[in-house]
Amino acid sequence: MKILAVNCGSSSLKFKMYEMPEEKVLISGLFERIGEKMSSYTIKLDNDKYSKEIELPDHKVAFEILVDELKKNKIIKKLDEIKGIGHRIVQGGDYFDKTVIADDDAVTKISELATLAPLHNKAAVTGINAAKEVIPGALETVTFDTAFHQTIEPVNYMYAVPYEWYTKYKVRKYGAHGTSHKYIASRLNALLGRTNTKLITCHIGSGASVSAIKDGICMDTSMGLTPNAGLIMGTRCGDVDTSILTYMMQKEDISPKEMDNILNKKSGLLGISGVSNDSRDIEEGIQKGNERCVLAQKMYVQKIIDYIAMYYFEMGGVDAIAFSAGVGENSIRTRIDIMEGLSVLGIVPDYEANNCRGEEKLVTTTESKVPCYVIPTDEEIMIARDNYNLAK
């Protein structure tokens, strides 16, 4: 059965097609700058990768070209061979704790939740409607970044602000990256050979979050009402003293919209270093003796250690820790900095094993009291699996 996992951004469409239940990737690709000038797409096959510049006025045209490419590359002969399309949705609020069929009710709720994730949820609805028009026979499902975190208890999801903000406006922690944390936890459980586990999963890429997962259930996560909470990220500040906001808004006459932009796009590693939002550039800056890059890396790592320590206490211990996403999978140095900072937990890094990128691997020694693993994340396969289970 052929299933498409798609992720629609406001000007992009990322896709991966699977043969299910074998979970074989048949083709993948990315449409970029949809609705803008210089739009293009890239297709990736087993032994081939090519890009084309082409006018992409909207997501519907992108889906039409996608279908043409599937036929041209002999992935499908007829449209009705595509049995399912699973969409990634950033914000599911407290409506969704699992993947559901993208019926009218679900789409209405996703649109309503656009107040919490304006760019993402609007784009997702555009994508759902475009896919329905172009591939009407496929079962469309929606998989939410927030769903896995719906098991978090009020003690961890409420903020100490006026309670009416919660009852009137649903102000609470929703988290994000849930599909990724769920995947990483399932891999850790497979590696540990049991499911009654206490896990800490670190999804650290340009966006970054840590989750505490007990017996497969999410107990807590570092992102909040929006993704700009918890860890320091590429351009997001994460946790800060909220009084800084009002103080600076007055000092420099900054509007709420501008402030939101500064905290989401000009802060984090970029804000501290003044060099870049990319860990690779920060590491290069450190090599060159750039003091602000040194500070940025120290702060970045410290925040991750703080959250791991907090979740260690929340769960009463930890059986395994995982590093995932762009930084977690690729930054040899950041993993070492984190593991060395956790020596109080009896964590002993295996420096040789840790010299790896993008592969599933144990990176602590046999003496380590807590094993740490690199787990490359795979949100698309989770979306495809959920869609397959509803479509089969």
Residues annotated as part of the active site: 145
From 327, 342, 345, 384, residue interacting with ligand AMP (rule: CB under 6 A): 327
Nearest to 326 by CA among 350, 295, 358: 358
Q: For ligand AMP, how many residues bind (rule: CB under 6 A)?
A: 12
We find the least distance from the C-beta atom of residue 377 to ligand AMP, in angstroms, to be 8
- How many helices (H) and strands (E) are present in the chain, helices listed first? 14, 14
Q: Residue 49 or residue 98: which is nearer to ligand AMP going by CB?
A: 49
Where does residue 282 fall: left (phi above 0), alpha (psi -120 to 50 degrees), or beta otherwise?
Answer: alpha
Which residues have a Cβ under 8 Å from the Cβ of 47 and sit 6 or more positions away? none
From 279, 354, 364, 387, residue interacting with ligand AMP (rule: CB under 6 A): 279
Q: Residue 84 or residue 271: which is nearer to ligand AMP going by CB?
A: 271
Report the alpha-carbon distance of residue 203 to residue 269 in Å, rounded: 16
> Is residue 12 part of the contact set for ligand AMP (CB under 6 A)?
no
> Is residue 238 part of the contact set for ligand AMP (CB under 6 A)?
no
Report the alpha-carbon distance of residue 388 to residue 111 in Å, rounded: 24
We find the least distance from the C-beta atom of residue 357 to ligand AMP, in angstroms, to be 6
Q: Residue 116 or residue 208: which is nearer to ligand AMP going by CB?
A: 208
We find the least distance from the C-beta atom of residue 53 to ligand AMP, in angstroms, to be 24
Which residues have a Cβ under 8 Å from the Cβ of 204 and sit 6 or more positions away? 231, 304, 323, 324, 325, 326, 327, 328, 334
Angle, in degrees to the nearest 10, between helices 379-391 and 178-192: 90
Tokens representing residue 144 in the block: 């939410």
Give the β-pairing of 40-45 and 24-32: antiparallel
Kindly report the CA angle at 229 between 223 and 231, in degrees rounded to 5?
A: 85
C-beta neighbour count of 260 within 10 angstroms: 14
> Is residue 234 part of the contact set for ligand AMP (CB under 6 A)?
yes
> Is residue 331 part of the contact set for ligand AMP (CB under 6 A)?
yes
Q: Which amino acid is at 99?
A: T
Q: Residue 141 or residue 228: which is nearer to ligand AMP going by CB?
A: 228
Q: Which span sits near ligand AMP by CB under 6 A: 72-80, 103-111, 144-152, 275-283?
A: 275-283
From 201, 330, 354, 364, residue interacting with ligand AMP (rule: CB under 6 A): 330
Which residues have a Cβ under 8 Å from the Cβ of 139 and sit 6 or more positions away? 83, 84, 85, 101, 387, 390, 391
We find the least distance from the C-beta atom of residue 36 to ligand AMP, in angstroms, to be 21
From 42, 129, 206, 261, residue interacting with ligand AMP (rule: CB under 6 A): 206
We find the least distance from the C-beta atom of residue 293 to ligand AMP, in angstroms, to be 13
> Is residue 227 part of the contact set for ligand AMP (CB under 6 A)?
no
> Is residue 7 part of the contact set for ligand AMP (CB under 6 A)?
no
Q: Which amino acid is at 270?
A: L
> Is residue 268 part of the contact set for ligand AMP (CB under 6 A)?
no
Residue 30's alpha-carbon distances to 33, 44, 251, 357, in angstroms, are 10, 9, 42, 23
We find the least distance from the C-beta atom of residue 269 to ligand AMP, in angstroms, to be 8
From 147, 272, 325, 383, residue interacting with ligand AMP (rule: CB under 6 A): 325
Q: Residue 127 or residue 207: which is nearer to ligand AMP going by CB?
A: 207
Q: Would you tell me which residues interact with ligand AMP (CB under 6 A)?
A: 205-206, 234, 278-280, 325-327, 330-331, 357
